[in-house]
Amino acid sequence: MSKLIDKFSAQVPGLRQKAKDIVAKHGSEKISDVTVAQVFGGMRGIKGLICDTSFVSPEKGLIVRGLPILELTERTPEEIFWLLLTGDLPSEGESHDLDKELASRSEVPAYVFEILNALPAECHPMAMLNTCILALENESVFRIRYFEGMKKQDYWEAALEDGLNLIAKIPTIAAAVYRIRYDKGAPLASKPELGWGGNFAHMLGMDVDQDEFAKFINLYLNLHADHEGGNVSAFSCATVASALSDPYYSVSAGLNGLAGPLHGLANQECLRFVLGIRERYDGIPTDEQLVEYAWEVLNSGQVIPGYGHAVLRCPDPRFVGFHNFAEKYLVDEPLVTIVDKIYRLVPDILREHGKAKSPFPNVDAITGSMLYHYGLKEYRYYTVMFAVSRTLGLISQLVLSRAMGMPIIRPKSVTSDWLVSQFEEPVKV
């Protein structure tokens, strides 16, 4: 057994007991009131989910297991996965063991590549990735064991088994999506000795300084892994998994949500926004030009991509992490200069516009421009990279839920007429 499975296995009885104890002790206490505006407002702010992997503080941003994300930027994504799942950072030996574990599970069945080659040439890369994940459902240990009569207390074990297999394989699949979709040549042979993120960077096959690119990809995979439990991808995955659909179905559901333009697809929109500015002003715009452009976008009823957030009320520390990297490695990149200018000018414009609750950049405001710098110019692919990373968080949350014995998710909906009837007399006819 791997060190990760050993460690988590030892934690499971405590997790289950803790959940039981909390309900026994505080089960009838109230933590949230729900207003009608919240019901019509995407349930914003309603506290109704447990997520122990990470927490998003409106003022500080992402906190992973108690550690602010900016303290974790030098870690590998595999180490972040260990932290998300177990609550501790791995020792060097544990980290090495997890790398070996993932390498041993990384071979992707040939039918996955056949599927990729058979899909229409213009298929969206996210649809390609999700098609492969659903095809891999064929391999689900959870599904087989469930129908063999697996006990509830063992669900986590089968879920982690599937989760580790999916995490191990997803970089190879995602890199193949890139190479096949964009005619970059045959998928490259995997080099698991480079580590999970380093191998992904290698398999993309970019013609750039591989050491620097691998550092960037590791940072990318590290910073996008988790963002508590209520975002669309995490919540969708958790809901589907709560029906005991196996991790392949569940992660695919989460990643289908990630493919939306208000969630993971925003990074491609952000790059289009920055490229649009560069094209219109034939390079870096003046401050006046940028202000004019931003107002034009807002007055036409569109959003400024990469700005605003459902929870955050500060500059996203993940944006700051990428910005710090860009200051070190991408000093002469004009797109980053435009990103900087937007960062300097747009928050005041959004404040004056008066709609967005947060005028600050989110993680997507900069990543596309950095990927573009490294030659990854096919922006429809960007969400696939986000998906590779987010799989770490989705799997961690899902395994923890099964370990804690969480039930099927089933909130109550009401009709709008029922709602009105709570406050108004029925109209007599």
Q: Which residues bind ligand HAX (CB under 6 A)?
A: 231, 262-264, 266, 298, 303-310, 355-358, 362, 364
Smallest separation (angstroms) from ligand HAX to the CB of 365: 7
Residue whose tokens read 């000795």: 193
| φ, ψ for residue 230, nearest 5 deg | -100, -5
CB 315 within 8 A of CB 362: no
Taking the complex as a whole, the smallest distance from the CB of residue 226 to ligand HAX amounts, in Å, to 12
Check the CA dihedral 145-251-163-49 and report its sign. Answer: negative
Burial (CB count <10 Å: 0-12, 13-18, 19+), residue 344: exposed
Of the two residues 143 and 309, which places its CB atom closer to ligand HAX in the complex? 309
Q: Which of 165, 397 has the CB closer to ligand HAX?
A: 397
Residue nearest to ligand HAX (CB): 308
Q: Please state the closest distance from residue 164 (CB atom) to ligand HAX, in A.
A: 25
Q: How far is the CB of 316 from ligand HAX (least distance, A)?
A: 8
Sequence-distant (≥ 6) Cβ neighbours of residue 38 within 8 angstroms = 44, 45, 46
Decide whether 59 or 424 has the Cβ nearer to ligand HAX: 59
For residues 288 and 112, what is the distance between their CA atoms, to the nearest angstrom?
50
Q: Which residue among the candidates 224, 316, 364, 373 is catalytic per the annotation?
A: 364
Q: Whose Cβ is closer to ligand HAX: residue 18's or residue 357's?
A: 357
- Least distance between ligand HAX and beta carbon 371 (Å): 15
- Which helix or strand (DSSP H or E) is residue 55 part of? strand 54-57
Rounded to a whole number of angstroms, the minimum distance from the CB of residue 306 to ligand HAX is 5
SS3 14: helix
Please say if 309 is a catalytic residue: yes
Catalytic choice (309, 316, 323, 373): 309
Structure tokens at 102: 């993932």
Among the listed residues 169, 167, 195, the one whose alpha carbon sits nearest the alpha carbon of residue 112: 169
- The full DSSP string for 82-99 is HHHHHSSPPPHHHHHHHH
Least distance to ligand HAX from the beta carbon of 44, Å?
A: 6
Cα 71 to Cα 321: distance, rounded to the nearest angstrom: 10
Q: Which is nearer to ligand HAX, 179 or 353 (CB)?
A: 353
CB of 242 to ligand HAX, least distance (A): 22
Question: CA–CA separation, 20 vs 404, rounded Å?
Answer: 9
Closer CB to ligand HAX, residue 82 or residue 343? 343
Q: Which is nearer to ligand HAX, 70 or 194 (CB)?
A: 70
The yes-or-no answer on residue 364 being catalytic is yes
124 is catalytic: no
- Residue 12 has which token pair? 């499971």
Q: How far is CA 384 from the centre of its chain?
A: 10
Residue 2 CA to residue 97 CA, distance in Å, equals 7
Are 181 and 125 contacting, i.e. CB atoms less than 8 angstroms apart?
yes
Helices (H) and strands (E) in the chain, counts: 19, 3
Catalytic residue among 227, 263, 323, 373: 263
> What is the per-residue burial (b if ≥16 Cβ within 10 Å, else e) of 3-40?
bbeebbeebbeebeeebeeeeeeeeeeeeeeeeeeeee
State which residue, 6 or 352, has the beta carbon closest to ligand HAX.
Answer: 352
Active site residue ranges? 263, 309, 364
